[in-house]
A and B are shown apart, each in its own frame.
Chain A
Amino acid sequence: MKERSVRGLIIVGFAVAVLVVAGLGFAYKMSEFAVTIMKDEIEGFGAVAISIYLVGMVPILFFTLWAIATGRFRDIEHPKYRLLELDDEIERGGGVSYRVGATVAGGRGAR
């Protein structure tokens, strides 16, 4: 038990350390970018790039909302268990044969 929490700490510590360093780098570059936009003599320099980033986010945002609305996230962890089940099913059934045209067991209903 004790060992496990130590290990957990290590992982978290590792994650935090890297996140902080990389995050600082990102923030630094972003601010450098912003400063360049503001004081550059070419009008609209870089602003286009940023706005496209933001516009590009929109479809992804809507996609996410759509996914939430249609319940795609309701059981988001399900497929990861299904992977192991599937493997068992396939291995047990001889593993490798598949009858053309047959409805496949283990679909939605058979679970």
Chain B
Amino acid sequence: MTPTTIPASAGTRHLVNLALVRWHLTASAVCYAVSLLAGLAYAFQFNNLYPFAGIEFLSPGRVRMVHTNIAAYGFIANAFIAGLLFAIPRLTKRPILSDALGWVIFWAWQLVLTLTVIGVLAGFGQAIEWGETPVFVDPLVLVGLVLLVVNMTVPILQSTEQGLYVSLWYFLAAFAWTGLVYFMGNYLPQFWIPGTAGAAITGLFIHDLVGLFVTPIGWGLMYFFVPLLLRKPIWSHALSLIGFWGLAFFYPMQGVHHFLFSPIPMYAQYGAIVATIAVEIVVLTVIVNFFGTLHGRADAIRGNLAVRWFFTGIIFYAITCFQCAFQVTLTFQKIIHFTDWVVGHAHMVMYGVFGFWIMGMFIELWPRCIGRPWATPRLLTAHYWLTFVGIVIMVLDLTAAGLVQGFSWAGLSHWGESVVASMPFWWVRTVAGLIIIAGQGLFLYSMWATARRPATEPGMVRIGTPVEA
């Protein structure tokens, strides 16, 4: 029987509410498309080919805010909620607190996103990086987050399982963090703390959003999916303990590294640098753990598309962290701060790592939610390769562009020199973006084609079913 066709007779509930998962995935895919198109439009600005020039509501600065915010709160958050809705009940054998609440959260979240897009385009963006969601949307976000936390924490605390699996540690910690981080970043520098100290808090917010919301949930989901896909327990549960506590301890202390050499007190800058380098070491334990799990099953990378997405993401993660440990030093900062290097880095983390993991999750969850196996395995493979090639080109290109810009500025050449020298790089960036978007076009088509398929094969698609059988 397909999961969706089990009648929910009175008193019976599905363990996992797959409809909810499906809708979050769909919303995530829609946001994904919006975010990519906004990013593409903004990239065209740098080729002086902006498609909406002269239209106030689509001014490039505002479109950029749509790009980043919808990527973070639309694409990533929706997909993560879908992942959590699937993983938590299956880790605890308890359904989420309330399905109705789940729907309320779903619609509240989509309302948040819609209001964000409208608000930002209408000129109400907030001057907080990653928190540009207009001031009037923030309370709704907080309410949504609190409800989400309640809905998802209850099954974990009710669970009678002996010993808590590492995924749940990450989820619980992330639940504690997310609301606090959001409140801190969107309210303190906006209403109470001006200037330099406010900048310190903004830096903290920029960093915590990635480190305390996206990263723990991302890793938690990886710890859930990878062993199930490989049908093999994680290499070392004890090592994951080290990784978790290292992240929990060092990650919240790195905010100011976004503003090195700024007027923020120097000890805060040093502290941030030390904590950053420390966390990179801790992160390695996580990476080693995953490769330890893969050890002996490396063929899965070829045979199972989801595993391939996951591990490509993990490799990107290793690269990013390696890069972090260097770029956070004051020596590197002299040159690369303010340049496209940082933009490349951000794309590698948010897209190359978390975006890739989310793609892997889509590969697993989408067929399961709609009770049909993927209709178009070949397109999915093409999608993988296009995305991979696109992001690699983009990151290499932006990193190189950053060095060119940084040295041009330090060399005191006219500002225009750095702009002119960046032009070819910005063209390559646009082309890389087009490659990525072409890939995602295939993917969205695949999702649609799969959903349109008659449900000929009942029996749900089990976790770990390779796409290319």
Contacts and interface: CB of A to CB of B under 8 A. Distances in A.
B281 A86 contact: no
B26 to A, nearest CB: 19
Interface stretch (B31-39, B192-200, B263-271, B426-434): B263-271
Contact of B18 (A57, A75, A76, A96): A96
A36 B90 contact: no
A97 B90 contact: no
Nearest to B464: A87
Contacts of B227: 80, 83-84
B462 A22 contact: no
A83 B91 contact: yes
A99 B11 contact: yes
Given A19-B284, A33-B270, A56-B249, A75 B460 contact: no
A75 B66 CA distance: 47
Contacts of A98: 12-15, 89, 93-95
Contacts of A19: 281, 284
B237 A86 contact: no
Nearest to A44: B267
Contact of A100 (B3, B12, B90, B291): B12
B322 A18 contact: yes
Nearest to A50: B271
20 contacts: A11-B292, A18-B322, A22-B284, A25-B325, A25-B329, A26-B278, A49-B271, A56-B249, A75-B163, A77-B233, A77-B238, A78-B237, A79-B165, A80-B233, A83-B91, A83-B234, A84-B227, A86-B161, A97-B6, A104-B93
Contacts of B453: none
Contacts of B160: 104, 107-108
Nearest to A99: B12
Contacts of A4: 295-296
B322 A22 contact: yes
B11 A94 contact: no
B88 to A, nearest CB: 12
Interface string A1-24: 000100110010001001101110
Nearest to B460: A95
A86 B253 CA distance: 36
Interface string A56-95: 1100100000000000110111111111101100110011
B90 A90 contact: yes
A87 B325 CA distance: 38
A15 B11 contact: no
B228 A87 contact: yes
B90 A60 contact: no
B397 interface: no
Tell me the dominant secondary structure on chain B's binding face.
Answer: helix
B420 to A, nearest CB: 35
B165 A29 contact: no
B280 interface: yes
Given A96-B14, A98-B93, 9 more contacts: A4-B296, A11-B295, A53-B271, A79-B161, A96-B15, A98-B94, A100-B13, A104-B160, A107-B160
B429 to A, nearest CB: 28
B186 to A, nearest CB: 25
A45 B271 CA distance: 12
Nearest to A15: B288
Nearest to A64: B245
A23 B322 CA distance: 11
A48 interface: yes
B463 interface: yes
Given A22-B281, A75-B163, A98-B15, A36 B238 contact: no
A94 B280 contact: no
Nearest to A36: B270
Interface in B59-97: 89-91, 93-95
Contacts of B262: none
Nearest to A63: B245
B241 interface: yes
Nearest to B277: A26
Interface string B250-277: 0001000000000000111011011001
Contacts of A73: 238
A46 B18 contact: no
Contact of A78 (B12, B163, B266, B322): B163
Contact of B233 (A26, A72, A83): A83
Contacts of B16: 96
A71 to B, nearest CB: 10
